Structure 1
Amino acid sequence: MLSYFARRLLVMIPTLLVISLVVFFIIQLPPGDYLETLIAEEQARGETVDQERIAFLREQYGLDKPMIEQYWIWLLGLLQGDLGYSFEFELPVVEVIGDRFWFTVVLALATTLFTYILSFPIGIYSAVRQYSVGDYAATFVGYFGLAMPNFLFALVLLYYANVWFGLSIGGLMDPQYIGAPWTVDKVISVINHLWIPMLVIGTSGTAAMIRRLRANMLDELQRQYVITARAKGLSPMKIILKYPLRLALNPFIADIGMILPQVVSGAALVSVVMDLPTNGPLLLRSLQSQDMYLAGAFLMFEATLVVIGVFISDILLAMLDPRIRLGGASSK
């Protein structure tokens, strides 16, 4: 198990290097750069463009260098914890991101826990009690969650909370704590506001998990070993927990690798709608303004979440199913 853990850990290094190359290529894809966009905006307003200032900024930010050299400078900066410089905000990217990074991480983890805690028992119950009232109710919730876009659900909640209760449920804290130092009261305010975006963002993921776990469990419950166990007189709970559930969990655990980045990317529009101080709105803004290093930092963050999520799911799968860490077959 230790050797498998080490191998998977070592694979992450070249994977992240390749991802960094792809991310840098993506942020370079739009024609021009931030300075050219700035020139176009100033000319559209009828302002005179200071070419010497533009040339100075291009040299200062390294935009006059070949792309491969720009990539190496950016990569070395990443390895040293320097995410680059935001052209639009005229600040280091680390300072621009600020608390947004931690808000995004907290929201993503809370939503992931919400998804698994809710979908796990509902999926099992729905499979064991197939075609019962509870199964039909879970199916309805699943279809609703899959059909309703997250941002539309957020708009509906915002509207009815204001119309029925006169409440504004946007944001992640009370207005008086915005920009204030961290205190116990501010943390409590964040916790009190966290459950609403967690519910909105986690609805679709929870619905998909319920349907997937239900399908896997139903498939396992029809296997011959379950029928044999029932014939031997084993209790239904023991049969479910010892055999079908364990085998049905493989795809369930494998989804960890994708649910974290899906939560972050799916939260972008929800963050804009609900005015959440997370990475989503700032990522959209950086892409629109071609603030390449700010956008690159966000894309690397999401890509790193994918790699870490896949690593966690692989380790959990190896612990659950020895065939995975043993290579899937015995040597001949």
Structure 2
Amino acid sequence: MLGFLYRRLLYMVPTVFMISVVTFVIIQLPPGDYLDTLAAELNDAGGLDEGTMETLREQYGLGQPMYVQYLKWITRILFYGDFGISFEKNLPVNDLIWDRLGWTFAISLLTLSFIWLTAVPIGIYSAVRKYSFGDYVATFVGFVGLAVPNFLLALVMMYVAFKYFGQSVGGLVSPHLIGQPWTAEKYLDLLAHIWMPIVVVGTSGAAALIRIMRANLLDELYRPYVVTARAKGMSEFQLLLRYPVRVALNPFISTIGWILPTLVSGEIIVAVVMNLPTTGPLLLRALLVQDMYLAGSLIFLVSILTVFGTLISDLLLAWIDPRIRYQ
């Protein structure tokens, strides 16, 4: 196991390097840069000064070749943990992303827990009681969850919460508590708000994994090893959890590599609609104005999260399924 872990960590070094290169190139692909966007805005306002623009271009190093800009960017990250300066906000990228990353990870982990706690038992019930009324209900709900866009579900839930329950919508706390120190009232208010983005973001993921769990468990329930264990007198509940469910969990574990980064960055529209203090709206704005250091840093961090998520899922798969060999 340790040898397998060392090899995977070693492979991650060139992988992360290539990710950083591709990330920086993708950010640079659109024509122009942040100063071109700024120049267009100043020109519309009648305040364009070519001398000022040239000074800013030299200050930010945007007049240099792409590889020079990349080397400066990646060197600062590796040796100083400095992701550069946000052009638009004129603030260090570190100051802009870490607070939002904290909220993003908190919501993502809670959403992942919601997905698993919902999808696993419903998927098991749907497979064991196939073609029952409960199975049909779970199937219908799963199709609805896959079909309804998350941002539309967010709008509906926000309307219902405000119209019928009088709850303030948008954000993670009520407006009068924003910027206030954390007290018992603020924590309770956070709990009253945070469940909504968790349900909205987790609905489609739970719906998809319910279908996966049902399909995989149905494939395992009638295997010879299950029939043999049942013939030996093992109880149905113990048999179910010890063998077929354990094998059917493999797809759940293997999805950690893509579910985590998807939860962190994939629900940008939901974060904008619900006014969440996460990285999604920040990344969207950075891409729109071509704030390359801010956008590149966010994409780079999410890509690294994908690599680590894949490592975690591989280690868990090797631990839970003895058929997997480290070689």
TM bracket (short chain): over 0.9
**Equivalent residue for 1:250?**
250
3-state secondary structure, aligned to 2:324: helix
Q: How far off its partner does 1:64 sit?
A: 1.5
Instruction: Please list the CA deviations of residues 271-326 of structure 1 after superposition, one character each: whole Å capped at 9, or x if unmatched.
Output: 11111111111111111111111111211121122111111101101111234343
Instruction: Please list the CA deviations of residues 117-175 of structure 1 after superposition, one character each: whole Å capped at 9, or x if unmatched.
Output: 11111111111111122212211221111011100000111112222223222111122
Q: How far off its partner does 1:75 sit?
A: 0.6
**Equivalent residue for 1:137?**
137
Q: How far off its partner does 1:96 sit?
A: 2.3
- 8 A contact 2:168–2:174 mirrored in 1: no
3-state secondary structure, aligned to 1:192: helix
Q: Which amino acid aligns with 1:71?
A: Y
Q: Which contiguous aligned blocks of 4+ residues in structure 1 show a shift greater than 3 angstroms?
A: 180-189
CA shift in 2, pair 1:269/1:161, >3 Å: same
Query: If the length of structure 2 is used for normalisation, what is the TM-score?
Result: 0.95
Q: Which amino acid aligns with 1:310?
A: T
Distance in 1 of aligned mates of 2:158 and 2:183: 27
Q: Which amino acid aligns with 1:311?
A: L
Name which of structure 1's ranges 209-218 and 136-145 shifts more when overlaid on structure 2: 136-145
CA shift in 2, pair 1:270/1:37, >3 Å: same
Asked if 1:99 corresponds to 2:99, the answer is yes
Q: Which amino acid aligns with 1:10?
A: L
Asked if 1:71 corresponds to 2:83, the answer is no
Asked if 1:303 corresponds to 2:303, the answer is yes
Distance in 2 of aligned mates of 1:53 and 1:210: 57
Q: Unaligned 5+ residue runs, structure 1?
A: 328-332
Instruction: Please list the CA deviations of residues 197-245 of structure 1 after superposition, one character each: whole Å capped at 9, or x if unmatched.
Output: 0000000000111110110000001212222222333221122122211
Asked if 1:45 corresponds to 2:58, the answer is no
Q: Unaligned 5+ residue runs, structure 2?
A: none
Size of the aligned set, in residue pairs, is 326
Name which of structure 1's ranges 104-113 and 5-14 shifts more when overlaid on structure 2: 5-14
Distance in 2 of aligned mates of 1:158 and 1:188: 18
Distance in 2 of aligned mates of 1:275 and 1:178: 13
Task: Note the aligned Cα RMSD (angstroms).
Answer: 1.6
Distance in 2 of aligned mates of 1:14 and 1:181: 43
- 8 A contact 1:201–1:267 mirrored in 2: yes
Instruction: Please list the CA deviations of residues 225-270 of structure 1 after superposition, one character each: whole Å capped at 9, or x if unmatched.
Output: 2222223332211221222112111112101111111212332111
Distance in 2 of aligned mates of 1:188 and 1:281: 25
% same residue: 56
Distance in 2 of aligned mates of 1:177 and 1:38: 34
1:104-253 mapped onto 2 (5 Å cutoff): 104-183=104-183, 185-253=185-253
- 8 A contact 2:265–2:279 mirrored in 1: no
**Equivalent residue for 1:6?**
6
Query: If the length of structure 1 is used for normalisation, what is the TM-score?
Result: 0.93
**Equivalent residue for 2:58?**
59
Q: How far off its partner does 1:184 sit?
A: 5.2
3-state secondary structure, aligned to 2:38: helix
Distance in 1 of aligned mates of 2:178 and 2:76: 30
1:279-298 mapped onto 2 (5 Å cutoff): 279-298=279-298
**Equivalent residue for 1:35?**
35
- 8 A contact 2:146–2:208 mirrored in 1: yes
Distance in 1 of aligned mates of 2:189 and 2:243: 43
Distance in 2 of aligned mates of 1:185 and 1:315: 41
- 8 A contact 1:27–1:295 mirrored in 2: yes
Q: How far off its partner does 1:188 sit?
A: 4.0
Instruction: Please list the CA deviations of residues 35-86 of structure 1 after superposition, one character each: whole Å capped at 9, or x if unmatched.
Output: 0111122122232x22222122111111111101111111112222111111
CA shift in 2, pair 1:161/1:190, >3 Å: closer
